[in-house]
Amino acid sequence: MAGVRVVSLVPSLTEAVAVSAPGALVGATEWCSHPEDLDVARVGGTKNPDVRRIIGLAPDLVIANEEENRAPDLAALRAAGIQVLVTEVRDLSGAFRELARVLAACGAGRPGWLADAEAAWGQLPQPDVRLTAVIPIWRRPWMVLGSDTFAGDLLGRLGVDNAYATHAERYPRVPVEELRAVAPDVVVLPDEPYRFTREDGPEEFPTPSALVSGRHLTWYGPSLAQAPAVLSEALRAACR
């Protein structure tokens, strides 16, 4: 698809398209931080995109995600005659499938990083021991990964079982007192969407805390090729 014009409303997919189909992106959200030198029009946030600005860019395709973006915004873009591709990712296999679909729609071939990512996750050794974890993603109020999440699937493949994997909600609000009472082997604290740091988060828990890269835990894109090594090292460092 030569000359396709793309606006991405999903940070991880922005990176995937930028490195795989150079020149295709004409717009992205303010949260699209990779590649770091990305120079395209900014169209607001994932939850509050500037629909008029997007329409003004005259894209052939807008890439969205059913979880990150709001249905009314996507409906407005479709009403303006713009094709909207909505991804749904709940696990690693779904991420690989959706990445292939997005890149094909953008006119990109199969990039080397995608093959590298599949190989990296396909060659994982069996963990010697499995750990139980709680994985907060927000504070004030505390929210954690619940059931049916992409990040939870990644951690499970690395030998880390989410204590809230069977919760009725995907991102339940849980008081910190309850999180402590779970007595997990490790608390996994990503630096996004909430930016947990050594001074903000670990002090609430008596058990070890693993500070991990949110990009490697929650993004589905080129970072997947390095994610097993990056996340495993952070977990090992916390549990030494």
* pLDDT tens readout for residues 42-52: 999 999 999 99
- Rounded distance, CA 8 to CA 11, Å? 7
Length of the chain: 240
- Please tell me the predicted confidence (pLDDT) of residue 3: 78
Distances (CA, A) of 142 to 51, 91, 94, 139, 195: 31, 23, 27, 4, 13
pLDDT of residue 120: 96
pLDDT in tens, 147-166: 999 999 999 999 999 999 99
How high is the pLDDT of residue 109?
84
CATH of region 128-239: 3.40.50.1980
Average pLDDT score over residue span 92-96? 97
Residue of 229, 32, 67, 63 lying closest to 149 (CA atoms):
67
Write down the pTM of the prediction: 0.92
74-89 pLDDT per residue, tens: 999 999 999 999 999 9
- CA 153 vs CA 23, 39, 146, 159, 212: distances in Å: 33, 33, 11, 10, 15
* Torsion, CA 72, CA 73, CA 75, CA 77, rounded to 10: 160
C-alpha closest to that of 45 among 25, 70, 81:
70
Percent of the chain topping pLDDT 70:
99
At residue 17, the pLDDT reads 96
User: What is the spatial order of strands in the sheet that 61-65 belongs to?
Assistant: 41-42, 25-28, 6-8, 61-65, 83-87
Beta bridge partners of 162: 133
Average pLDDT for 5-14 = 96
pLDDT value at residue 1: 44
pLDDT grade, residue 224 (50/70/90)? very high
Mean pLDDT of the chain: 95
Q: Residue 2: which pLDDT band, with cuts at 50, 70 and 90?
A: low
User: pLDDT digit string (tens) for 97-149?
Assistant: 999 999 999 989 889 999 999 999 998 988 888 999 999 999 999 999 999 99
Region 218-234 average pLDDT = 96
pLDDT attached to residue 127: 83
Q: In the chain, where does the domain assigned CATH 3.40.50.1980 lie?
A: 6-110, 128-239
Q: Which long-range contacts (CB under 8 A, 24 or more apart) does 225-229 make?
A: 225/113, 225/116, 225/117, 225/120, 226/120, 227/117, 227/120, 227/121, 227/154, 228/120, 228/121, 228/124, 228/157, 228/158, 229/120
State the fold for domain 6-110. Answer: Rossmann fold (3.40.50)
